[in-house]
Amino acid sequence: MTYRIALNFEDGATRFIDCNDGEKVLDAAYRNKINLPMDCSDGVCGTCKCHCEQGGYDLGDEYIEDALTEDEAEQGFVLTCQMVVSSDCVISVPVAASACKLAPATMEAELVAAERLSENRVRLSVKATQGALPTFLPGQYVNLSIPGLDGVHRSYSFSSLPGAEVATFLIRNVDGGAMGSYLERARPGDRMTLHGPLGSFYLREPKRPILMIAGGTGVAPMLSMLEVLAEQDMGGQSVHLIYGAHDQADLVEIERLDALKTRIPGLTVVSTCSGADNAHPVKGRVTDHIGADRLNGGDVDVYLCGPPEMVESVRGAVGDVANLYFEKFIPAQPEELAA
């Protein structure tokens, strides 16, 4: 038995695929030569999240809450890597059809520099060993292999302009972490592989005011988006970034944001610290700084990125808005830690 699935893409394009009984939708799409957004294919990352508009399906119980919350599941959101359909279905895919044509690629790269911006923040710069780095949409991420640790990789969002010869990443130095430990011994010339680009968190055409909310290194994809916005006509739209960290020292890349302010006329930035004993003039969590004026009566595109718990609390705080795009920096799961 096969079922007919209509995939409605963000740009209005629709593609129909046949899905076999018991087959996961992600696999069926791939068999039909459509590369839907995906990363782990294990119900962990949430990259494959779509919305089912119509039809019956089962998601099983092997995915984690950070990938798809109970609320989202109730609202009809699905993980296509887990979804087995029981009837014909209509599924909205939150990316443009053109973004699904290219399968993520794996390429060799080498470390250019690992600069410590604060005790817990490192800017990693990499370039391709041959040819150019993969093209990506501003906001997307790659899986980076960790030199010296066979088969171990972690996900990082580009903080640089797409197409640049050297790509940068902003990394939180997690004590004792696989990447955190590598950062201590990183040397220019270290070889690594990049697998991607991945993710449906990327900048859309500015059609209304933009509100960006970043927690910690969640500012990385915002920097990439702002680099792109600095090079295009904003059509009079404004961008407001709320950037939060626990400690003042971890509010890195402020000079770069200042430079971007001079290039993007409508850009305003508020940085805030949530930790006690901070000399930073603005205090509190990012949610304390989302004023009603910034939400523009809901007519706003919100881009939100950071640790899972921060993303969830901001989602609750912004309420109904025209568009809410988010990325959670979900830590590697126990089975990946030892991989």
Ligand X SMILES: Cc1cc2nc3c(=O)[nH]c(=O)nc-3n(C[C@H](O)[C@H](O)[C@H](O)COP(=O)(O)OP(=O)(O)OC[C@H]3O[C@@H](n4cnc5c(N)ncnc54)[C@H](O)[C@@H]3O)c2cc1C
- Using CB under 6 A, list all residues that contact ligand X: 45, 141, 154-157, 169-172, 174, 176-180, 199, 217, 220, 307, 327, 329-332, 337
Looking at the Cβ atoms of 89 and 192, the one nearer to ligand X is 192
Distances (CA, A) of 138 to 192, 223, 225, 227, 228: 22, 9, 5, 8, 7
Looking at the Cβ atoms of 47 and 120, the one nearer to ligand FES is 47
How many residues belong to the site for ligand FES (CB under 6 A)? Answer: 14
Helix (H/G/I), strand (E/B), else coil: 193: strand
Cβ neighbours of 243 (radius 10 Å): 26
Site residues (CB under 6 A) for ligand FES, limited to 44-63: 44-48
Closest by CA to 225, choosing from 146, 161, 298, 317, is: 161
Interface residue with ligand FES, options 7, 28, 38, 225 (CB under 6 A): 38
Helix (H/G/I), strand (E/B), else coil: 9: strand
For residue 59, the minimal CB distance to ligand X (Å) is 20
Tokens 């790269």 belong to residue = 109
DSSP string, 264-304: -TTEEEEEEE-SSS---SSBS-GGGG--HHHHGGG--EEEE
For residue 51, the minimal CB distance to ligand X (Å) is 19
Dihedrals phi, psi of 44, to nearest 5 degrees: -115, -40
For residue 141, the minimal CB distance to ligand FES (Å) is 12
Q: Provide the mask over 264-303, with x wherever binding to ligand FES is found by CB under 6 A and - wherever it is not.
A: ----------------------------------------
Cβ neighbours of 185 (radius 10 Å): 10
Query: CA–CA separation, 207 vs 236, rounded Å?
Result: 9
Residue 227, contacted partner among ligand X, ligand FES, none, CB below 5-8 A by kind: none
Looking at the Cβ atoms of 171 and 290, the one nearer to ligand X is 171
Residue 46, contacted partner among ligand FES, ligand X, none, CB below 5-8 A by kind: ligand FES
For residue 81, the minimal CB distance to ligand FES (Å) is 3
Q: Looking at the DSSP assignment, which residues form a beta bridge with residue 285?
A: none
Cα-Cα end-to-end distance for the chain: 37
Query: Stretches 33-41, 188-196, 215-223, 232-240: which one binds ligand FES (CB under 6 A)?
Result: 33-41
For residue 225, the minimal CB distance to ligand X (Å) is 13
**Contact set with ligand FES (CB under 6 A):** 38-48, 67, 79, 81
